[in-house]
Amino acid sequence: MLDFVVIFTKGGVVLWNSQTSGINFSSCINSLIRGVILEERNTDSKYFEEDHLAVQFKLDNELDLFAFKEKFGSIPALERLGSEYDFEGEFRSVLTAAEEASSKQVKAPKAMRSYNESQKSKKTVASMIQDDKKPVEKRVNIQESPTQPKSRPSSSPLTTDDIIQENRRKLREKLTPTKKSADSKLSAPVKQGATEKAGKKPRVWDLGGNSKDAVLLDRSKDSPEDVQYQSVNNELVGTMHGVIPDLDVEDEEDVDSAEDSSEEDDMNSHSLAPKKDRRGGGLLSYFRGIVGGKTIVLADLKPALEKMRDHLISKNVASEIAVKLCESVATSLEGKQMGTFDSIASLVREALTQSLVRILSPKRRIDIIRDALESNRGGKPYTIIFCGVNGVGKSTNLAKICFWLIENDFNVLIAACDTFRAGAVEQLRTHTRHLNALHPAANHNNRTMVQLYEKGYGKDAAGIALEAIKFAHDTKVDVVLVDTAGRMQDNEPLMRSLSKLIKVNNPDLVLFVGEALVGNEAVDQLVKFNQSLADYSSNETPHIIDGIVLTKFDTIDDKVGAAISMTYITGQPIVFVGTGQTYADLKAINVNAVVNSLMK
């Protein structure tokens, strides 16, 4: 029995519905749009189930409509909808015929499905970890807070926006080349290094406690301005308030010219010169064989999609996700009327970009500055816990984030809770010294901008973090950054102790630090950290990972797949990207940069 037929646009605007029953189907249709169509998850099955309702759907790519469309045959659908065409009548007669035909077939009543046969039982652990309903979200999403913004305890009664604007203004002032800074070699970003003092090498942070490196790191004699940072608004991650620069976007033209040069190679392919690897020719070149002037069917796309999948895998995109991305491109192209190669190329680019935007766009907003201000107004320090396996860059990127916070006028307490690895405390002490040298108290109304809370080695990390947060609370420190010992994702006792540390200290944010260069391994780490935090917490709503710090992005060239895989599988946003070994090498993810790297 067909209860309901609806025609709606991809964005959810209902154009027509059959209204045959009094039941309200809107919640089911909304879930379909939100969970399947917009996210492009599982659109290939064209089947969706929720609350005992089964929905079958079909996308018309020509019109971007979801509907039953069999009867639209030869007459262009828009023409029909716009004219006096009796859609209702036609629909009723088709429905009656279909129902009569089906009633003639004697069917055994459908047995109720067992739990094991249900969709729910097929949910993977990873999908179950994506818990949108965690209470911590409420805490992070300030828009949901019923309280009015209050002023920071120690300053004038400004609103949140005032303070943010003021901080932005200060930062802008710093970043605007004044005469002094223009004269100074340091006003330009690192990349434009032409103004860098001759002979000055970038900082090398080999932080294993080697004294030679310690001298290299000791920039306390340098001018405080001797630090380079950039300020760009972060659109994708959303609300970093102009402080964390986006990843650099490679010019689209560069990507396209790479494709053009591959086309030239193809044209000269009868020469004896060795043929350039097609992978170097860019992802769009795989679609070159599809000729224009006809409606695209899946069979036309298949060979190109297979190459595209391999291309994505070669960029470190997890294979399952590469397949999903290809499916989503196929869904967007199927049924479209093709023009020239250019239009195919632009359609593929557009479809891939849309999918990646969906994957990389955070499902929830993480706005550290705003939330820290809010916390401080409530008389509490804002607490971030960093976790991850050994050597991924936890301490280094914690120090970069500390630098960014200081630049935004927050003072910070670093809690040295890696009480295991020799040298871990000293590494943080070195950072503390450097950061204070770069931002002396004299420049911040005699506030010491970074302090280290440490109790040496071998002690209980959860207890040290608790003491540190209390100390920060008592002494009105704005932010506490908790460094934790590296641990392997499969080490149960250590994962239990991390879960305890998080439970006991109830931080505002838990950041997972993972290397971009290990690709699928980073995905495995993230999934298992999440799972362990959920499994080993005795809380009903355990605090799992809130966001990702993706490090060593500068070392992966165009193999940017880890960024996509990590966010796709867990739904957690990439909050920071580490791009090198200076305090300024902290960026925000940028979807265009990622797309361009994948296209190459």
Residues that bind ligand GDP (CB under 6 A): 205-207, 388, 390-397, 486, 551-552, 554-555, 578-581, 585
Min CB(394)–ligand GDP separation in Å:
3
Comparing C-alpha atoms, which of 586, 542, 594, 588 is closest to residue 568?
594
Least distance from ligand GDP to the Cβ atom of residue 210, Å? 11
Whose tokens are 């009105």? That residue is 476
| Shortest CB 365 distance to ligand GDP, Å | 24
DSSP string, 218-265: --TTS-TT---------SSS---TT-SPBPPPPPHHHHHHHHHHHHHH
For residues 305 and 592, give the distance between their C-alpha atoms in angstroms, rounded to a whole number. Answer: 21
φ/ψ (deg, to 5) at 373 = -60, -45
Name residues whose C-beta falls within 8 Å of residue 103's C-beta, 6 or more positions apart in sequence: none
Which residue number, 327 or 483, has a Cβ lying nearer to ligand GDP? Answer: 483
48 three-state secondary structure: strand
* Residue placing its CB nearer to ligand GDP in the complex, 315 or 552: 552
What burial letters (b/e) apply to 92-106, b meaning 16+ CB within 10 Å? eeeeeeeeeeeeeee
For residues 306-320, one letter each, b for 16 or more C-beta atoms within 10 angstroms of the residue's C-beta and e for the rest, the string is ebbbebbbebbbbee
The amino acid at residue 242 is: G
Q: Least distance from C-beta 550 to ligand GDP, angstroms?
A: 9
Q: Tokens 């089906």 label which residue?
A: 102
Q: Which two tokens stand for residue 171?
A: 């930062």
Are residues 469 and 509 in contact, defined by beta-carbon separation less than 8 angstroms? no
Pick between residue 395 and residue 430 the one whose CB is nearest to ligand GDP: 395
- Shortest distance, position 368 Cβ to ligand GDP, whole Å: 18
Nearest approach, Cβ of 418 to ligand GDP (angstroms)? 7
CB of 578 to ligand GDP, least distance (A): 3
Q: Are 597 and 250 in contact, with CB atoms under 8 Å apart?
A: yes
**Which residue's CB is nearer to ligand GDP, number 242 or number 580?**
580
CB of 171 to ligand GDP, least distance (A): 22
Say how far apart CA 556 and CA 315 lie, in whole Å: 9
Nearer to ligand GDP among residue 327 and residue 585 (C-beta): 585
Burial label, 349 (beta-carbon count in 10 A; 0-12, 13-18, 19+): buried
Cβ nearer to ligand GDP, comparing 208 with 280: 208
Smallest gap from residue 501 Cβ to ligand GDP (A)? 16
Give me the sign of the Cα torsion angle 557, 201, 426, 446. Answer: negative
14-17 and 6-9 beta bridge pairing = antiparallel
Measured distance CA(322)–CA(350) in Å, rounded: 16
In whole angstroms, give the CA distance from residue 437 to residue 220: 5
Burial class (CB in 10 A: 0-12, 13-18, 19+), 397: buried
Measured from the CB atom, the residue of 315 and 400 that comes closer to ligand GDP is 400
Minimum CB distance to ligand GDP smaller for 535 or for 554: 554
Q: Residue 427 CB, nearest distance to ligand GDP (Å)?
A: 6
Residue 428 vs 598, nearer CB to ligand GDP: 428
Distance in Å, CB of 511 to ligand GDP, minimum? 12
Nearest-approach distance from CB 401 to ligand GDP, in angstroms: 11
Distance of closest approach, residue 201 Cβ to ligand GDP, in angstroms: 14
Q: How far is the CB of 586 from ligand GDP (least distance, A)?
A: 8
User: Closest approach of Cβ 18 to ligand GDP, in Å?
Assistant: 56
User: Could you give the CA distance from residue 37 to residue 34 in angstroms, rounded to a whole number?
Assistant: 6
Q: Which residue has the tokens 């991809």?
A: 10
CB of 486 or CB of 542, closer to ligand GDP? 486
* Nearest residue (CB) to ligand GDP, 282 versus 486: 486
The span from the CA of 237 to the CA of 581, in Å, is 22
For strands 382-387 and 479-484, give the pairing.
parallel
Nearest residue (CB) to ligand GDP, 525 versus 572? 525
Query: How many whole angstroms separate alpha carbon 561 and alpha carbon 600?
Result: 13
For residue 558, count other CB atoms closer than 10 A to its CB: 17
Q: What distance in Å separates the CA atoms of residue 405 and residue 119, rounded to the nearest whole number? A: 45
Nearer to ligand GDP, 236 or 399 (CB): 399
Q: If residue 212 lies in a helix (H) or strand (E), which one and from where to where?
A: helix 211-217
Residue 39 or 554: which CB sits closer to ligand GDP? 554
Residue closer to ligand GDP, measured from CB, 326 or 392:
392
